[in-house]
């Protein structure tokens, strides 16, 4: 498996630009790009509304308005219905809600597409464009429920391969170890966790080892030793990274 992966990492490194570690919207902003579905399957066709009392209809609409995951179009349509007649309210639950949801879903997919374009997420861009080109409630909803997650996992997998391809086998052991663990797990969650937190934590671990190795050299200057010890005493990813990339050369210079 690892020999096949080595070939893939080389291909990923050749085909893709520099690593983009910006977290995609679905991980941090679910209400912005992957709206929570507040309806059950039985509600999606408006069935059962005829059996609801007028009070139950109003309560159902009030709950939709109060739900923080309700999109702007649905919220506006719900408020308009609640301000109208009972006929308006029943129409909203049966039909109007899903027309408005279609509008909200289209906006959500467009927002995902915008973020994906900024991040260079090719699979997400491809699948978002397919959903928008099809432009049906079903296509948009399918993308938001499952397609986005799977496409983002595809892009995340490429990112992890790219990190693995550029990692130094001698000094980036933790980065390589954690990348391989994420690829072996091969779930959207494992890949995303590695990119969001695992990579940074692993690089921090590797950087600390690199600084300790510098200190282990008895021939280094007193100034370099002091700078390395200061970086370790601060013990933050930023301090260690700065020392390794800039500080040690300023001291030596």
Distance CA 54, CA 195 (A): 50
Length of the chain: 253
Task: State the pLDDT at residue 50.
Answer: 86
Q: Which residues contact 168 (CB under 8 A, 6 or more apart)?
A: none
Mind listing the pLDDT tens digit for each residue in 28-60? 333 333 343 334 333 445 558 888 999 999 999
Q: What is the pTM of this model?
A: 0.72
User: What letter does residue 45 receive in the DSSP assignment?
Assistant: T
By C-alpha distance, which of 158, 156, 159, 180 is closest to 169? 180
Evaluate if residue 249 carries a pLDDT over 70: yes
Q: Do residues 102 and 95 touch, judged by C-beta distance below 8 A?
A: no
**In angstroms, what CA-CA distances link 168 with 2, 44, 97, 142, 174?**
16, 52, 54, 40, 10
By C-alpha distance, which of 166, 133, 129 is closest to 151? 129
What mean pLDDT is predicted for residues 118-122?
95
Task: State the pLDDT at residue 29.
Answer: 35
What proportion of the chain, given as a percentage, has pLDDT over 70?
81
Evaluate if residue 10 carries a pLDDT over 70: no
Q: Where are the domains of the chain?
A: 1-166, 171-253
Mind listing the pLDDT tens digit for each residue in 132-181? 999 999 999 999 999 999 999 999 999 999 999 999 999 999 999 999 99
- pLDDT band for position 195 (cuts 50, 70, 90): very high
């Amino acid at each position: 498996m690892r020999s096949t992966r080595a070939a893939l990492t080389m291909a990923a490194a050749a085909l893709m630009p520099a690593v983009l570690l910006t977290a995609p919207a679905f991980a941090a902003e679910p209400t912005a790009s992957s709206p929570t579905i507040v309806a059950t399957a039985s509600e999606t066709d408006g069935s059962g509304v005829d059996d609801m009392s007028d009070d139950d209809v109003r309560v159902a609409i009030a709950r939709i308005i109060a739900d923080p995951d309700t999109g702007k179009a649905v919220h506006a349509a719900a408020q308009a219905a609640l301000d109208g007649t009972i006929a308006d309210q029943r129409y909203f639950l049966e039909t109007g809600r899903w027309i408005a949801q279609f509008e909200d879903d289209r906006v959500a997919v467009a927002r995902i597409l915008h973020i994906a374009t900024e991040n260079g997420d090719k699979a997400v861009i491809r699948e978002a464009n397919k959903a928008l080109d099809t432009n049906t409630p079903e296509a948009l909803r399918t993308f938001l429920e499952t397609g986005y997650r799977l496409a983002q996992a595809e892009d995340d997998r490429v990112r992890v391969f790219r990190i693995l391809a550029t990692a130094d086998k001698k000094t980036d052991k933790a980065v390589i170890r954690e990348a391989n663990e994420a690829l072996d797990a091969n779930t959207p969650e494992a890949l995303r966790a590695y990119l969001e937190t695992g990579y940074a934590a692993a690089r921090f671990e590797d950087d600390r080892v690199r600084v300790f190795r510098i200190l282990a050299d008895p021939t280094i200057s007193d100034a370099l030793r002091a700078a390395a010890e200061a970086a370790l005493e601060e013990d933050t990813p930023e301090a260690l990274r700065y020392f390794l990339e800039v500080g040690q050369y300023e001291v030596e210079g």
